[in-house]
Structure 1
Amino acid sequence: MTSRQETRDTADRPRRGLAEKRQAITRAARTVFGRDGYTRASIDAIAAEAGVSTRTIYNHFTSKDLLFQTVIRESAAQVADAQLDIIERRLGKVTDLEADLTAFALAWVTPLTEFADHFGLVRQINAEARHLPKAALDAWQETGPRRVFAALGRRFGELADDGWLEAPDPGRAATHFVLLTATDVTQRSYWGAYPLDRAETEEIVVTGVRAFLRAYAPPRR
């Protein structure tokens, strides 16, 4: 290794250390906020979970509000990326509308278990909405749900243009689809806290897809 490379590596170590500390803090905060809620969660508890001092947390985040906003925004972005990928993979090419929508809806509910810490946060947000910083709620919605629903609405609009759906308002159709298929799974499982068995999930999804198609499938389909 040359002296220049050694110098560069030495200079990079503090930055890597700061990034690793920040990641440890946000991971711990997601766990603690999801477990205790925003109001009851303390910086001391987050520091203990992360294995750092409270001073280290305040060096990265000036307040609990800012830490919560950062955590929910980053967590929502991860889940949104997964859901956008599901839209692309499952609805990128439709050949059998009912079968493809059913496969899509079943895939759509899988993040409930894959991102358990995130949906722990969502449960707390729903319980404590009136006590949370409005900026945090807006950041969560813009980074996560609104971004995903906008993409789903665009895809439903494309399906309507191709004759698969009769949907003058694709965004509303996307909302109706999720309400009929995924929302019941989400609510019955308490946002993934008590996952439903596969048979119950499939029954909800299949009947929801059929109800959606009775409203939105063109007669010829």
Structure 2
Amino acid sequence: MFARDGYARAGIDAIAKEAGVSTRTLYNHFADKADLFRTVIQTSAGEAARDQIAIVERHFHKITDLEQDLVAFGRAMSAQQGHAEHFALVRQINAELGHIPPEAIEAWQETGPRKVRRAIADELGFEDPERAAVHLMLLTMTGDPSIRGTRPDDEDVAAGVRVFLHGHAVGGAGRRR
């Protein structure tokens, strides 16, 4: 329901009805809607992060040609299937950022996006690996920037990797260790 209707529009009564439980049952498990949302987004983000980190581990343990291997990694990440509800929830979060409790946003970021970013950063070996990980993700995992949630095609991934390598591997400050 949060993924479909957003945080602000999803009421506890409607959530209980859709789940087939009483509101009392929800309140026995969660202090309030914010607590329920935090649990939902952390669980969802944790599952998506686990699968994304598996892709990181699969691709980064065998780097032989940095450009080709990063392209293969970017394609695998952008082609990742599953977690459609999670990414619908992420789109709702982005649309409603000002209405969602900051603790829920922080919990989501720490459980999902930051965890994946750190896994990538740990593998990159650049002088500023966290920044390099953000750049790699932005350049290879986002489709048309005017349409949120779109996936890049193979040519966009390859071009993103070339830009990434030019900015990080060729420039003096971003040179690989």
**Normalising to structure 2: TM-score of the pair?**
0.88
Q: Aligned match of 2:42 in 68, 73, 86?
A: 73
Q: Aligned match of 1:190 in 138, 148, 155?
A: 148
The residue aligned with 2:140 is 181
| CA distance in 1: counterparts of 2:50 and 2:30, whole angstroms | 25
Instruction: Tell me, yes or no, if structure 1 residue 215 matches structure 2 residue 167.
Output: yes
The residue aligned with 1:128 is 96
Amino acid at match of 2:68: A
Amino acid at match of 2:31: T
Instruction: State the 1:215 CA deviation.
Output: 2.3
| CA distance in 2: counterparts of 1:96 and 1:79, whole angstroms | 27
Instruction: State the 1:187 CA deviation.
Output: 4.3
Which fold has the larger relative contact order, with Cα–Cα distance below 8 Å and residues 6 or more apart in sequence?
Answer: 2
**Normalising to structure 1: TM-score of the pair?**
0.72
Instruction: State the 1:53 CA deviation.
Output: 1.8
What are structure 1's unaligned runs of at least 5 residues? 1-31, 158-166
SS in 2 for 1:38: coil
Instruction: Tell me, yes or no, if structure 1 residue 117 matches structure 2 residue 85.
Output: yes
Instruction: State the 1:186 CA deviation.
Output: 7.3
Name segments (4+ residues, structure 1) moved above 6 Å. none
Question: Which deviates the most, 42-51 or 114-123?
Answer: 42-51
Structure label with greater radius of gyration: 1
Alignment of 1:164-179 (within 5 A): 167-179=126-138
Amino acid at match of 1:56: T
| CA distance in 2: counterparts of 1:119 and 1:45, whole angstroms | 22
What are structure 2's unaligned runs of at least 5 residues? 172-177
Instruction: State the 1:60 CA deviation.
Output: 1.3
| CA distance in 1: counterparts of 2:35 and 2:122, whole angstroms | 32
131 and 139 in structure 1: CA distance in 2 versus 1, 3 angstrom threshold: same
Could you say which structure has the higher helix fraction?
1
Instruction: State the 1:180 CA deviation.
Output: 1.2
Whether the 8 Å CA contact 1:122–1:191 is kept in 2: the answer is: no
What are the superposed Cα offsets for residues 75-117 of structure 1, whole Å, 9 maximum, x if unpaired?
1111111111010001111112122111100111234x41111
The residue aligned with 2:174 is none
Instruction: State the 1:62 CA deviation.
Output: 2.1
| CA distance in 1: counterparts of 2:34 and 2:131, whole angstroms | 33
| CA distance in 2: counterparts of 1:110 and 1:61, whole angstroms | 35
Whether the 8 Å CA contact 1:181–1:209 is kept in 2: the answer is: yes
What are the superposed Cα offsets for residues 185-206 of structure 1, whole Å, 9 maximum, x if unpaired?
27465325xxx5xxx6112101
* Equivalenced residues, count: 171
203 and 188 in structure 1: CA distance in 2 versus 1, 3 angstrom threshold: farther
The residue aligned with 2:71 is 102
| CA distance in 2: counterparts of 1:91 and 1:188, whole angstroms | 30
144 and 44 in structure 1: CA distance in 2 versus 1, 3 angstrom threshold: same
| CA distance in 2: counterparts of 1:141 and 1:171, whole angstroms | 14
| CA distance in 2: counterparts of 1:56 and 1:43, whole angstroms | 11
